[in-house]
Structure 1
Amino acid sequence: MNLIKCSVCILTFNSGKTLEKTLQNLKNFGEVVICDGGSTDQTLLLAKEYGCTIIAQDGKFKNKEGKIIDFSGVRNQCIEVAKYNWIFMLDSDEYFEEGLESEVRSVVSDYEIGCRVYNVPRKYIYKKKIVEHSPYYPRNYQVRFFARNVVDGYVKPIHEKIKIKQGCAVGLMRNPLYVPLSADVRSVIKKYNYYLSLEEERHKNEKSFGKWLKNTLYRTLRSTIGVSARYVKSLFCRGVKHPFRHFILDMLYNIKLIYITGKKFLFFMRKYK
């Protein structure tokens, strides 16, 4: 069978524990681009073993400790070096199964197809079991699969998203991408705290109370309330449920996000009360 003319792009940093399973499921793709942040484990050995294209994350997108501060920047690095027009963005612990691979092959090979950008549904995995009931279902999808010529790259340094050219339709894949949830609570807390520090830096020069009210407070509260309601509803369902600890950590993240991005407005109002 011919290789799929699509470049799968992956950011890595000491990802050896999960990367091999990810790469095993990508053998039928024409290219895998690894954008590495200076791994010291077996990550780069695995990438070479599987014939990946390897590039280093540009230092201008990282801080002095070598951590990424601009996720859009490093993802755009991948897009720039990719061999093919079709791109699939993947995290180093996520993986495909045959259904999604076949669907990607079909889209790439059909030049008459209407959409050039696709949302991909995500299914969570916890302790090697598929999470059947999550408060993020059924709208748990992201734009991960797209043609390079209809996008203008990624924007936003954190929680990055692809900028789609005007007039381009966005489709939805039928088969899911599998996303493991870490059982290591400490590592999740550490990651969330780092994301919050990036959000605080990004919003430090924000002076518009109305913009914060609409874009952060309203949207975050609406999401938090909706997810909480769906989580309670999922408790009455049979099957594997979204882990409670992850739900709580997500909700705490939202609360902290509102505080760190809006505290300057609260202090300002208190000062002139």
Structure 2
Amino acid sequence: MMNQHGISVIIHTYNAEQHLERVLQSVAGFDELIVCDMESTDATLAIAERHGCRILTFPRGEHRIAEPARQFAIDRASCDWILTVDADELVSPELRDYLYAHIASEQPAAGLYLARRNYFMGRFLHAAYPDYVLRFFRREQTTWAPYVHTLPVVVGEVARIDKRRHELALEHLANDSVAVILRKTNDYSDNEQIKRSGKHYGVAALFLRPLVRFTKSYFIKGGCRDGVPGLIHALLDGVYQLVMVAKNIERRQGKP
């Protein structure tokens, strides 16, 4: 039976033992904890079982991203409201209380964008804050497409939590290195080709998209305040766009 006044927390995992203990501790006060696992081979499932989580298995197959498993887990949740959390994100007690107050209000928005704090090379990134992610929503009014970097589609009003409420932001524990970002760039840009299959980028995009992304990250969003790590991260943002456009052109020319 659906719990109309409860919140199910969904965490998607694949070999997520590094941070999972802390993440599950941070969401202990919610009505239902679901770990949707993509066939982990480390201690992920043992940690989830120790915390009393409901465990769902989504076959990993050729998937390298969590999005294909999102709708699978949402459809199987027991509560009317869903909070999706990555296996390296912490939920503060203040955010938990805020979400329960929200669903108890007279006319709650059907979805909420949550701010997220990100780190790189040991530094908090001003350019990556608030990094809004749509992670809280009504179950019956939401669908999530199985493509990388897609947001759920929520039928109804969607609001944003004020970015000045730092205590309500998700804390992203990942402190990515350059090597990790480059690996993600290759994986994610491959998956982007599916979502952008109708796009036809030209040669100009090889220059313009990286330049625009670097300018936005470094100057407009404040990466220049983060020293050398901010400069490197902004450049890597530009590299992502370059790789994504190059693969689009390669695909249209029929190259393997």
Q: Are residues 1:68 and 2:58 paired?
A: no
Counterpart for residue 34 of structure 1: 35
Gaps of 5+ in 1: 269-273
Query: 184, 203, 209: which is aligned to 2:177?
Result: 184
Q: Pairwise mapping of residues 52-201 of structure 1 onto structure 2 (< 5 A)?
A: 52-58=53-59, 62-63=61-62, 67-68=63-64, 71-110=66-105, 112-126=106-120, 131=124, 133-138=125-130, 140-151=131-142, 153-165=143-155, 168-174=156-162, 175-201=168-194
- Quick one: structure 1 residues 199 and 234, their matched pair in 2 at CA, closer, same or farther if it must change by over 3 Å? closer
| Residues 64 and 187 in structure 2, CA contact (< 8 A), matched pair in contact too | no
Aligned to 1:20: 21
Look up the equivalent residue of 1:33 and give its one-letter code: I
Q: Cα–Cα, structure 1 residues 221 and 113, in superposed 2: closer, same or farther, change >3 Å?
A: farther
Which secondary structure state, in structure 1, belongs to the residue aligned with residue 242 of structure 2? helix
SS of 2:144's equivalent in the other structure is strand
Using structure 2 for the length normalisation, give the TM-score.
0.81
Task: Report the CA distance between 1:155 and its aligned residue.
Answer: 1.6
Cα displacement (A) at 1:177: 0.8
Query: C-alpha displacement at 1:96, in angstroms?
Result: 1.1
Taking only the aligned residue pairs, the percentage that are identical comes to 23
**Aligned mates of 1:255, 1:98 — CA distance in 2:** 40
Structure 1 distance, partners of 2:137, 2:69, is 17
Counterpart code for 1:116: A
CA contact (8 A) 1:125 1:178 kept: no
The structural deviation recorded for 1:245 is 3.6
Alpha-carbon deviations, 1:248-272, whole Å to 9, x = none? Answer: 322211111122113466x69xxxx
Distance in 1, Cα, partners of 2:107 & 2:141: 14
For residues 11-48 of structure 1, what are the alpha-carbon distances to aligned partners after superposition, in whole Å with 9 as ceiling and x for unaligned? Answer: 10111011011001011011111111111211100100
The Cα of 1:73 is off from its aligned counterpart by 2.6
Relative distance call for 1:135 and 1:161 in structure 2 (3 A) is same
Determine if contact 2:111/2:134 at 8 Å carries over to the other structure: yes
Output the CA distance in 2 between the equivalents of 1:149 and 1:84.
Answer: 10
Give the letter for the 2:47 counterpart.
Answer: L
Question: Counterpart of 1:43 in structure 2: which amino acid?
Answer: T
Change (3 A) 1:220 1:35: farther
Aligned to 1:227, the other structure's residue is in SS state: helix
How many residues end up aligned between the 2 structures?
A: 242
- The answer to whether the Cα contact below 8 Å between 1:134 and 1:242 also exists between their aligned partners in 2 is no
Secondary structure in 1 matching 2:42: coil
Letter aligned with residue 188 of structure 2: Y
CA RMSD of aligned residues (A): 2.9
TM-score (normalizing by structure 1): 0.77
Deviation at 1:178?
A: 1.0
Distance 2:18 2:115 in 1: 24
Greater gyration radius:
1
Distance 1:192 1:258 in 2: 12
Q: Is the 8 A contact 2:217 2:237 kept in 1?
A: no
Instruction: Report the CA distance shift for 1:226/1:245 in structure 2 as closer, same or farther (over 3 A).
Output: closer
1:193 to partner: Cα distance: 0.9
Q: What is the SS of the residue equivalent to 1:182? A: strand
Alpha-carbon distance change, 240 to 100 in structure 1, aligned in 2, over 3 angstroms: farther
Shift of 1:109: 2.7
